[in-house]
Amino acid sequence: MANPFYLRDVVSIKDFKREELEYLFEQADRFLEMGYEEKSKYGRGKLMALMFFEPSTRTKTSFEAAMLSIGGHVIGFSGARGTSMEKGESLSDTIRVMDRYADVLVIRNPMEGAARYAAELAEHPVINAGSGSEEHPTQALLDLFTIRRLKGGIDGLRVAVVGDLKYGRTVYSLLNALKLYSVEVYLVSPPQLRIREEALYDLKGMKVHLDVELDEALKLADVIYVTRIQRERFPHPEEYEKVKGSYKIDARAMRLVKEDAILLHPLPRVGEIAPEVDGFGQAKYFEQVRLGRYLRETLLALILNENP
Ligand code: CP
């Protein structure tokens, strides 16, 4: 297969086919084994611009680590503070300026549609690093890569998705990625944070079980994907206070989980997975972080090189 990622935007996971994801994962397997000497040729002489308008630890630093690992360079900013947006410069001009410097742009913005907007403006490829409650496609790519590595494949799995299904952009991207596979999905959430109707509409044709009890899902799942409540997306703080702390994976819950199941979380966690869970063999969220860096290395190398 010719490289389907070359000079391509990564705005929505829905823009990709299963065979394209498989191509990426096979290349990422290769990058996992590769030394710096070999992989550093893929980014040599290339510049990546980060434009993060929301806080980030993993996505921002893993893209930085990934670009440096393939021999490239990084510029950019975190938050509009310190940029000329403080003087009134528009988002569109800011994107156009960064596009004049960089070979690839990575944007995180609280507005839904912001990454698509950037992709339409920019000549260079744009990667969506999170757009409001809408999408976080590279998180979904690394989630699937992790599942595939740790479970030996994706087809046939039972996947429980637990937490904030209403505002969680990682959930929406993950579910749309899983739709390309033959899996059964179990959705667990407080009633106020059920998946949005329009999101459910996109999942037509997928085996999805709604409003599953947490304990039931923990017993049957091969993959348990937990998310935090997205406090920053709530229109009113009191609505957040009503659901805060309404679910928790602790040692008691872990005793229900199958021995060969894996527990994932896009992180950050803010109480929904107790620290005591870290010692359980099924807890794989930090391995997920590690694998994510390689997935992003691979993605950047494929975007920047026609024949990697
Ligand atoms: N998973 C994730 O997007 O983490 P950050 O918000 O720290 O980037």
Catalytic residue, candidates 8, 46, 59, 148? 59
What is the rounded distance in angstroms from the CA atom of residue 302 to the CA atom of residue 199? 29
Among protein residues, the one with the nearest Cα to ligand 1's atom 6 is: 56
Expressed in angstroms and rounded, the spacing between residue 43 Cα and the centre of ligand 1 is 23
Residue 232: pLDDT over 90: no
What is the rounded distance in angstroms from the CA atom of residue 262 to the CA atom of residue 282? 5
Expressed in angstroms and rounded, the spacing between residue 287 Cα and the centre of ligand 1 is 15
Pair (280, 142) in one structural domain = yes
Q: Specify the pLDDT at position 142.
A: 98
Pair (208, 157) in one structural domain = yes
Residue 231 falls in the annotated catalytic set:
no
Pair (284, 184) in one structural domain = yes
Pair (253, 299) in one structural domain = no
> For residue 92, what are the domain limits?
13-132+292-304
Confidence of residue 246 (pLDDT cuts 50, 70, 90): confident
Pair (37, 118) in one structural domain = yes
Catalytic residue, candidates 108, 169, 284, 293? 108
Residue 293 falls in the annotated catalytic set:
no
Pair (79, 173) in one structural domain = no
With respect to residue 2, please indicate whether it lies within any of the assigned structural domains. no
Residue 294: pLDDT over 90: yes
Residue 59 falls in the annotated catalytic set:
yes
List C-alpha distances in Å: 283 to 164, 257, 286, 288: 20, 11, 8, 10
pLDDT in tens, 114-171: 999 999 999 999 999 999 889 999 999 999 999 999 999 999 999 999 999 998 899 9
pLDDT in tens, 179-213: 999 999 999 999 999 999 999 999 999 999 999 99
Among protein residues, the one with the nearest Cα to ligand 1's atom 4 is: 58
Expressed in angstroms and rounded, the spacing between residue 282 Cα and the centre of ligand 1 is 21
Specify the ligand 1 atom closest to the Cα of 267.
Answer: 1
CATH code where residue 248 lies: 3.40.50.1370
Residue 47: pLDDT over 90: yes
Catalytic residue, candidates 46, 124, 136, 228? 136
Residue 231: pLDDT over 90: no
Confidence of residue 237 (pLDDT cuts 50, 70, 90): confident
Residues with a CB atom less than 6 Å from ligand 1 = 56-59, 130, 136, 139, 266-268
Expressed in angstroms and rounded, the spacing between residue 169 Cα and the centre of ligand 1 is 11
Residue 172: pLDDT over 90: yes
Residue 108 falls in the annotated catalytic set:
yes
Pair (186, 219) in one structural domain = yes
Model's pTM, two decimal places? 0.96
- Range of lowest pLDDT (100-104, 169-173, 237-241): 237-241
Residue 44 falls in the annotated catalytic set:
no
Among protein residues, the one with the nearest Cα to ligand 1's atom 3 is: 59
Planar angle of CA 29, 150, 297, nearest 5 degrees = 35
Pair (160, 90) in one structural domain = no
| Number of domains present in the structure of the chain | 2
Helices 137-151 + 285-304 axis angle, to 10: 120
Pair (65, 187) in one structural domain = no
Pair (28, 124) in one structural domain = yes
Pair (180, 282) in one structural domain = yes
Pair (111, 149) in one structural domain = no
pLDDT in tens, 70-98: 999 999 999 999 999 999 999 999 999 99
What is the rounded distance in angstroms from the CA atom of residue 105 to the CA atom of residue 118? 9
Residue 245: pLDDT over 90: no
Catalytic residue, candidates 81, 87, 204, 236? 87
Mean of pLDDT over the chain: 96
With respect to residue 127, please indicate whether it lies within any of the assigned structural domains. yes
Edge-to-edge, what's the strand order for the sheet holding 184-188? 207-209, 184-188, 158-162, 223-226, 262-264
